[in-house]
Amino acid sequence: MTQSNATHQAVVERTDAERLSAASDVHAAYIGLDVHKATIAVSLAEAGRHEPEFRGEIPNAPKAIDTLVRQLSQRFEGQPLLFSYEAGPCGYGVYHQIQASGHDCEVVAPSLIPQRAGDRVKTDRRDAKMLARLSRSGELTPVWVPTPEQEAVRDLTRAREDMKAIEFKARQRLGAFLLRHGKVYAGKSKWTQAHFHWLETVRFDIPVQQIVLEEYVDAVKEAQRRVAGLEKQMAAALPSWSLAPVVEALMAMRGVSLITAMPVLAELGDISRFDSPRQLMAYLGLVPSEHSSGGRRRQGGITKTGNGHVRRVLVEAAGATASRRARHASSSSEPSEPRRRSRPSPGRHKSACAGVTAG
The residue ranges of every structural domain in the chain are 2-137, 148-237
Q: What is the pLDDT of residue 221?
A: 97
Q: Could you give the CA distance from residue 10 to residue 168 in angstroms, rounded to a whole number?
A: 31
Q: Which of 54-58, 291-295, 338-342 has the highest mean pLDDT?
A: 54-58
Q: How confident is the model at residue 334 (pLDDT cuts 50, 70, 90)?
A: low
Give yes or no for residue 349 having a pLDDT over 90: no
pLDDT at 335: 56
Residue 152 has pLDDT above 60, yes or no: yes
* CB-CB contact of 161 with 153 (8 Å): no
- CB atoms inside a 10 Å sphere around CB 267: 21
Poorest-confidence range of 76-80, 150-154, 164-168, 251-255? 251-255
The whole-number pLDDT of residue 329 equals: 78
Question: Which fold is adopted by the domain 2-137?
Answer: Nucleotidyltransferase; domain 5 (3.30.420)
In percent, the amount of the chain with pLDDT more than 70 equals 85
What pLDDT sits at residue 242? 93
Mean pLDDT for the stretch of residues 92-106: 95
Q: How many residues belong to the chain?
A: 359
Strands 288-292 and 2-4: antiparallel
Mean pLDDT of the chain: 86
CA distance 332 to 244: 37
Q: For residue 343, is pLDDT > 50? A: no
- Convert the pLDDT of each residue in 261-308 to its tens digit: 999 999 999 888 889 999 999 888 888 998 888 888 888 888 888 888
How many whole angstroms separate alpha carbon 268 and alpha carbon 313?
13
